[in-house]
């Protein structure tokens, strides 16, 4: 998530302006789609959690967020970019909403305050480090692309790579959930 937050903070806006060629007005609409998606998710998460467990919702949100960013990185037209960013906000909100209950399940009684007090500054430092790493490597990568006259958008490649990391993480979690389910089925005597 460190790299992903850096991509969000640095590459998304540069990609919108330099690769997609959006105006400030269009980028503002795309940027506003993310929190609108988050609001929709906040309203719909309760029915979703009736269909999926918290862990399943977490994994599905990672996979769908990765797929949405992947689509966004492939140079979509304005309206598709807007819809993809709306879905990114929707799935990010589900991801954020189910983190708390997952954490409460995993943390022993009496330790939640300590864990929360540790997680908040660690996430802030990770976001800062990701933004710094992304901005510095983006600058170097852009120089290489210009030097070798490569016909690629560095910003799109970074978003594509971050999407791949989300998909990889979600896929690994899905495999872990299936393996855990298979182990529980084997442990039950017939």
Domains of the chain from N-terminus onward: 2-187 (1.20.1250.20)
Angle at 91 between CA 90 and CA 92, to 5 degrees: 95
Backbone phi and psi for residue 74, each to the nearest 5 degrees, phi listed first = -95, 30
CB 167 within 8 A of CB 84: no
pLDDT at 25: 94
Compute CA distances 47 → 35, 86, 96, 147, whole Å. Answer: 20, 19, 16, 52
CA distance 152 to 26: 22
pLDDT at 76: 93
**pTM for this model (two decimals):** 0.86
- pLDDT by residue, tens only, the chain of 190 residues: 556 677 887 888 889 988 999 999 999 999 999 999 999 999 999 999 999 999 999 999 999 999 999 999 999 999 999 999 999 999 999 999 998 899 888 888 888 888 888 888 988 898 888 888 888 888 899 899 999 988 888 999 999 999 999 999 999 999 998 887 766 655 555 5
Per-residue 3-state assignment (H helix, E strand, C coil) for the chain = CHHHHHHHHHHHHHHHHHHCCCCHHHHHHHHHHHHHHHHHHHHHHHHHHHHCCHHHHHHHHHHHHHHHHHHHHCCCCHHHHHHHHHHHHHHHHHHHHHHHHHHHHHCCCCCHHHHHHHHHHHHHHHHHHHHHHHHHHHHHHHHHHHHCCCCCCHHHHHHHHHHHHHHHHHHHHHHHHHHHHHHHHHHCCC
């Amino acid at each position: 998530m460190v790299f992903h937050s850096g991509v969000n903070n640095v590459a998304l806006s540069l990609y919108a302006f330099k690769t997609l060629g959006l105006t400030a007005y269009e980028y503002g609409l795309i940027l506003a789609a993310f929190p609108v998606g988050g609001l929709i998710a906040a309203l719909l998460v309760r029915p979703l959690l009736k269909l999926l467990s918290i862990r399943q919702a977490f994994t599905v949100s990672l996979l769908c967020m990765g797929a949405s960013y992947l689509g966004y990185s492939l140079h979509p037209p304005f309206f598709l970019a807007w819809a993809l960013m709306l879905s990114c906000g929707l799935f990010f909100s589900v991801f954020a909403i189910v983190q708390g209950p997952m954490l409460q399940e995993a943390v022993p009684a009496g330790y939640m305050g300590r864990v929360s007090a540790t997680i908040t500054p660690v996430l802030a430092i990770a976001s800062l480090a990701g933004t710094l790493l992304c901005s510095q490597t983006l600058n170097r990568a852009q120089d290489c692309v210009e030097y070798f006259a490569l016909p690629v958008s560095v910003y799109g490649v970074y978003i594509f790579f971050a999407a791949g990391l989300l998909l990889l993480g979600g896929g690994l979690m899905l495999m872990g959930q299936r393996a855990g389910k298979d182990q529980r089925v084997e442990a039950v005597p017939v």
